Amino acid sequence: MQLLLGQTVRFTADPFKTPLPESTIYERRGAVAINGDKIADVGPADDLRQKYPQAEVTEYGDALITPGFVDTHAHYPQTAIIASWGKRLIDWLNSYTFPEESRFGDPAHAAEIAETYFDLVTASGTTTTVSYCTIHPESVDAYFTAAAKRGLRVLGGKTCMDRNAPDTLQDTVQSAYDDSKMLLERWHGQDRLSYVITPRFAPTSTPDQLAALGALWAEHPEVLMQTHISEQHEEIAWVADLFPEARDYLDVYERFGLLGSGALLGHAIHLTDRERDRIREVEASLIHCPTSNMFIGSGLFDMAGLMDQGHRIGLATDTGGGSSFSMLRTMAAAYEVAQLRGHPLHPAQLWWLATEGSARALRMDDRIGTLEAGTEADLAVIDLASTQAIAQRAARAEDIWQAIFPTIMMGDDRAIKAVWANGACLKS
C-alpha cells in the first residue's frame, strides 16, 4: 500500500453543468491511497494515515495530486517536426507531415520517435494518449511497445490513406482493412492498450477505403474510431468537391459507417447546425485541439455553445500541429480561445476537460481521469509554485482554483513534480 500526501481536488459532477461548490471536493491536506495498480481510497491525510498505518508514505507537501492528464488526439510520428514554421493545413501536411511520416516504415526510426514521444508527454504529466500512427504497421508496433514498457493506458491506430498523399504514404483498400484488423487483433486489450480504427480524414481516403474501414468498425464495435472533421474552410470545400453527393462533411463519414458513439472527431470547428445536432444525437465525441487550431490558423472552437447543447468534448494537444506536448499549455490555449469567443472558462472546467472530461470522451471515465477508489492509479503531482512568476501569483490566491490557474497559464514540465502510472512512479 502506497499513501501519497498533498492537496487534492476531486470532481463529483461535471463543472459545466453543476455549480462549483457542488461539483468538487477539495482537501487542503489530502491523501491518495494506492493498492497495486488501483486507487484504494481518497480523503483527508490524517484519516487515511490512521486507516492505513502500514502504508509507505510519500510526502508531496503543498503540491496538488491530480489524475494524470488525458490527451485525446495526437500524432506521435510528428514529434520531430513540432513547431515547424508557417503553413496552413494542406500545405503543412505536404511540407512537413508527409515527408516525416514516410520514414516510419523503418522500425528503428519508429521506435526512437515513440520513446522520445512518451518521455516528453509523461514529463508533462500525461498518462493517457490517443495517437494517429502512420500507414506502416511498424509505427503502431513501436507506439504500443513503448507505452507498454511504461505501464501507460494508451490508444492508437494505423492511419489509412489511399489517395491525395505521397506514394510512400498510400496503402490500398484491402491493405488498410487487413493491416488494421491484424493490428487490432494483436494489440487491442493487451496490457493497457486499445486499438482505434483510423482513417486520416475524408480527402485522403477513397469511398471504397472508407467503406472498408466502416465495415471493420461494424465487426469490432468495441473499439473506437478517430478521424478529423471541419478543421479549415479550404478542407471543407475540398471534401464537398470530392463527395458531391454528401449533404455535408459529417455525412461522408456517416454514409460509410464511420459515425457512432465511439467516434472521436478531431477539431470540429466549423460544423453546420445539422452536423452539430447529429453528432449529439449519436453521442460521438468532439476533440478540441486549441494550440493546433491557433498555430495553423484554423479557427475558434465553440466550447460554450457545444457544451450547452450537451456534447461530449475531449481536450488534446494535436502534436505536432499543436505547438506543445503539455496539457497545461493546452488548457491555457483553451482558455484563450474561449475568451476570444466571449465565454471564459473557469479553471475547474479546464482541469476537468484535461482529466475526467477527456476520459469521458474516450468512454473510459470508469477507469481513468478521476481520483475515485477502484480506478486505475494514474496520477500527476503538480507543483503550484514551480517558477518565481507562478509562485508570487499563487501566494495571493484566495482559493484552490486561484492557486491552480497561474500554473495553467504559465506552467510547463517544471511544474510536474511526479508522475504515477498503473500504480508505479515514473517520474519523481
CATH class for the region spanning 2-67+370-427: mainly beta
Q: What is the mean pLDDT of residues 69-79?
A: 97
Domain with CATH 2.30.40.10 in the chain: 2-67+370-427
Domain with CATH 3.20.20.140 in the chain: 69-361
pLDDT greater than 80 at residue 90: no
31, 34, 38, 43: CA torsion to nearest 10: -20
CATH class for the region spanning 69-361: alpha beta
Tell me which DSSP letter residue 105 carries: G
- The label of the residue with cell 507562478 reads 390
pLDDT value at residue 179: 98
| Residue 407 backbone class (left: φ over 0; alpha: ψ -120 to 50; beta: rest) | alpha
pLDDT value at residue 128: 98
81, 325, 388, 32: CA torsion to nearest 10: -160
pLDDT value at residue 202: 98
Q: What is the mean pLDDT of residues 303-328?
A: 96
Is-contact 130 71, C-beta < 8 A?
A: yes
pLDDT value at residue 21: 87
pLDDT greater than 90 at residue 313: yes
pLDDT value at residue 249: 98
| Residue 145 backbone class (left: φ over 0; alpha: ψ -120 to 50; beta: rest) | alpha
pLDDT value at residue 203: 97
d(CA 97, CA 100): 5
Q: What is the pLDDT of residues 185-203, one digit of tens each?
A: 999 999 999 999 999 999 9
Q: What is the pLDDT of residues 97-116, one digit of tens each?
A: 888 899 999 999 999 999 99
Per-residue cell: 174: 484491402
Q: 226: which strand partners?
A: 264
At residue 94 the predicted structure's pLDDT band, cuts being 50, 70 and 90, is confident
pLDDT greater than 80 at residue 278: yes
pLDDT value at residue 93: 80
At residue 84 the predicted structure's pLDDT band, cuts being 50, 70 and 90, is confident
* HEC sequence for 131-178: EECCCCHHHHHHHHHHHHHHCCCEEEECEECCCCCCHHHCCCHHHHHH
At residue 322 the predicted structure's pLDDT band, cuts being 50, 70 and 90, is confident
Per-residue cell: 87: 503553413
Is-contact 202 242, C-beta < 8 A?
A: yes
pLDDT value at residue 56: 97
pLDDT value at residue 95: 84
pLDDT greater than 80 at residue 373: yes
CA-closest candidate to residue 236, choices 250, 226, 225: 250
pLDDT value at residue 387: 98
pLDDT value at residue 388: 98
pLDDT greater than 80 at residue 92: no
pLDDT greater than 90 at residue 280: yes
At residue 282 the predicted structure's pLDDT band, cuts being 50, 70 and 90, is very high
Q: In sequence order, what are the residues at sequence separation of 6 or more whose Cβ sits closer than 8 angstroms to the Cβ of residue 9?
A: 24, 25, 26, 27, 64, 66, 351, 400, 404
Q: What is the pLDDT of residues 158-195, one digit of tens each?
A: 999 999 999 999 999 999 999 999 999 999 999 999 99
Per the prediction, the chain carries an average pLDDT of 96
* HEC sequence for 181-194: HHHHHHHCCCCCEE
Q: What is the mean pLDDT of residues 73-83?
A: 93
d(CA 146, CA 151): 9
pLDDT greater than 90 at residue 139: yes
Q: Please give the C-alpha separations between residue 28 and each of 96, 397, 414, in angstroms, as whole numbers.
A: 47, 13, 22
d(CA 279, CA 259): 8
Q: What is the pLDDT of residues 225-243, one digit of tens each?
A: 999 999 999 999 999 999 9
